[in-house]
Amino acid sequence: MASDFHDTQSGAPAMDAQALLAGWAGPGLEIDAGGRVTGMNGAGAALLARDDGWLELLSRWVVDGGVLQPGTHSSPLPDQEVVEWTPLALPSSGPTVGPATGQTDEPGRTRYLLLGRMATLERRLRQALTESRQRYKDLVEISSDFAWETGPDGRFAFVSPAGAIGYRPDDLVGRHPNDFLLPEFDDGLSPFEAREAIERVEVWLRAADGHPACLISSALPLTGPDGQWVGARGACRDITEARLRAMELAQVRLRERYLGYIVSSTRDDVDPARTLEIAAGVAVNATGAAGSALRARVEGTGDYAPVGVAESIPPELEATLADLPHRAALSEGAVTVTAAGYDVLAARTLFRHEVNGAVLVWRPAAQGSEKDDAGEKPGGQDGWSADDLSMARTIADHVGAAIAQARYQERLKTLSERDGLTGLYNRRTVMDMLEQRLGGKTGGSSALLYFDLDNFKAVNDLRGHTAGDDVLRAVGDLLRRMARPGDLAGRLGGDEFVLWVDRVDEAQALSVADRLLREAAEFLRPLSAGPEKPLGVSVGVAVHQGGGGEPVQGLVDRGDQGMYAAKRLGKGHRSLSPAYAGDGSAGKDM
């Protein structure tokens, strides 16, 4: 029998309990203070069929010592289902018969309504959402060094608990990312101010220890209800070590490519001077210098001679570049100085553990850099990176071999071109060089002085061949002293020599011959076999007219003829050879 009741908790109007249970969409139960069911709806009956003790527990939770416990109570069911129950107290107005038990309640006994709601799906959704949030948080922290969010003012509003690049979250929150950006790497694409989605952008920040840190970042812009930008959100991963390794690898590859130019040129290029020019250019490109110069140590002296240059040397640096090879020779590492507004670097070159030159590079000095009293920067490295210093040393190692090869080539060339005893050009070289001189003459006159030694055989016979060699060397010294720039001195063999006197007429040529007669007699007299056999020369003078078409062999033959004509006149004379037949002149003896 249904009865009207008031909600003792809320004071709601009286309602028919059975009508309330029947109209309730979820499970509904009516119980007495002892936890016995006195009424139910269909959904409640279905739950009672699955009672495995939950009803007794629920009754204890709802009614504790006869007092209704307000609030919502949950009861777990088999298969991980959950029902949330809201209890209401019902005053009894008379005896009633419970539809479930058939028992009669005593008048005035308190009853309770339990209105249930199936919360399984909601609970599962809430749990899934919680797990999803935790999973997202875990994945973000695992897959990135830190997650962040910036606000409308561009400042960090959130940083994940681990912090970033040596900073704690509290060190970053409220700070602007620009405070940490390295300006030399700023390309304007900052993920912290993203206005559109950004994926895998590299950004360089200054870490807490002061060193650069490379982060790869992806970001999304944040917008408010009105579509206005209100910040950005993203995640970063520190790839500094990987980027530095990649940069080091790229530097190694670049170094190998640069040095490959020098090595291949040393191996393949016939002209060593070309190799040294390439090395000078590599020194410029590899160090970012404005210019470079190579110096080779002159054997037997302490001087250094230029052997290669890339870009012209500033005049104000000439004195510094002349001094630095001497300083570099004493230092295993590179020497750096600042002079005349330039940072200059010098590294010595070695071959077989001996200093044989120096590599010099220079570029405009960095503004504001301080130098010591000697003009040298602290540590000897400011203005030049460690890579610059290392590259200069490596280039110097290769240049040392290139200088040695150039010297070897020069020696080979000297041996092939020069007479080994006197140092004068040998017969083959004289003929080749005369070919060039005669071929280039289109006018004017020059002369070939062809001579041999008087009484030379007596020296060999009476004093030996060593004394004879001393005489030949003395003639070489005499000709080098007499020869002007553009002249050509050579030994044709035995005691026969030539002196090509450029740009002289007949009278001038004869004057040079007379001088040769005088100086030879004076210079060689101490080397003579004796007073009765004085050393001297007999000279044939062959004047050449440019553009006449005279062959080299014809000129030499005319000189030879003049020399024999001089001997017929007596030792210590000179004779003018007949002119080349093509010019119509007559020969004459002097």
Q: How far apart are CA 362 and CA 289, in angstroms?
A: 6
Tell me which H or E stretch contains 433.
helix 427-440
Q: Per the domain annotation, does 248 fall within a domain?
A: no
Sign of the Cα pseudo-torsion (306, 309, 312, 316, in order): negative
Share of the chain above pLDDT 70, in %: 82
Q: 468 with 555, same domain?
A: yes
In contact, 395 and 276? CB cutoff 8 Å: no
In contact, 490 and 559? CB cutoff 8 Å: no
Q: Per the domain annotation, does 473 fall within a domain?
A: yes
Q: Per the domain annotation, does 263 fall within a domain?
A: no
Amino acid in position 536: G
Task: Provide mean pLDDT across the span 332-351.
Answer: 91
Tell me which H or E stretch contains 344.
strand 342-351
Task: Provide mean pLDDT across the span 484-506.
Answer: 95
Instruction: Supply the angle between the helices 240-268 and 386-417 in degrees, to the nearest 10.
Output: 10
Q: 292 with 403, same domain?
A: yes
pLDDT at 451: 96
Q: 398 with 435, same domain?
A: no
Q: 149 with 89, same domain?
A: no
Q: Per the domain annotation, does 573 fall within a domain?
A: yes
Which of 195, 217, 238 is the endpoint of a domain?
238
Q: Per the domain annotation, does 246 fall within a domain?
A: no
Q: Is the pLDDT of residue 584 over 50?
A: no
Q: 345 with 233, same domain?
A: no
Q: How far apart are CA 167 and CA 408, in angstroms?
A: 61
Q: Is the pLDDT of residue 568 over 80?
A: yes
Q: How far apart are CA 284 and CA 261, in angstroms?
A: 13
State the CATH number of the domain containing residue 23: 3.30.450
Q: Report if pTM > 0.85.
A: no
Residue bearing tokens 């003049």: 562
Which of 55, 85, 119 is the endpoint of a domain?
119
Q: 384 with 437, same domain?
A: no
Give the distance from CA 127 to its chain's centroid: 54
Q: 459 with 506, same domain?
A: yes
By C-alpha distance, which of 167, 139, 134, 146 is closest to 218?
146
Q: Who wins on pLDDT, 248 or 578?
A: 578
Q: Is the pLDDT of residue 431 over 80?
A: yes
Query: Which tokens sit at 108?
Result: 């005035």
Q: How far apart are CA 535 and CA 460, in angstroms?
A: 12
Least confidently predicted of 140-149, 302-311, 328-337, 581-590: 581-590
What SS3 state is found at 194? coil
Q: 159 with 230, same domain?
A: yes
Which residues have a Cβ under 8 Å from the Cβ of 517 and sit 6 or more positions away?
A: 536, 537, 539, 572, 573, 574
State the CATH number of the domain containing residue 319: 3.30.450.40
Task: Provide mean pLDDT across the span 198-204.
Answer: 88
Q: 461 with 542, same domain?
A: yes
State the CATH number of the domain containing residue 226: 3.30.450.20
Q: What DSSP assignment string belongs to 390-431?
A: HHHHHHHHHHHHHHHHHHHHHHHHHHHHB-TTT-SB-HHHHH
By C-alpha distance, which of 270, 253, 268, 258 is closest to 361?
258
Instruction: Supply the angle between the helices 272-287 and 386-417 in degrees, to the nearest 10.
Output: 170
In the chain, the number of structural domains is 4
Q: Is the pLDDT of residue 223 over 60?
A: yes
What SS3 state is found at 152? coil
Q: Is the pLDDT of residue 5 over 50?
A: no
* Per-residue pLDDT tens digits for 54-91: 777 777 777 665 566 666 666 666 666 778 888 887 76
Q: How far apart are CA 421 and CA 492, in angstroms?
A: 12
* Per-residue pLDDT tens digits for 290-299: 899 999 998 8
Q: Per the domain annotation, does 45 fall within a domain?
A: yes
Q: 26 with 89, same domain?
A: yes
State the CATH number of the domain containing residue 564: 3.30.70.270
pLDDT at 382: 52
Q: Per the domain annotation, does 589 fall within a domain?
A: no
Q: 389 with 483, same domain?
A: no
By C-alpha distance, which of 388, 384, 387, 144 is closest to 247?
387
pLDDT at 478: 96
Q: Per the domain annotation, does 131 fall within a domain?
A: no
Q: Is the pLDDT of residue 325 over 80?
A: yes
Share of the chain above pLDDT 90, in %: 37
Q: 453 with 567, same domain?
A: yes
| R_g over Cα of the chain | 54
Task: Determine the structural domain holding residue 380 and report its residue range.
Answer: 269-409
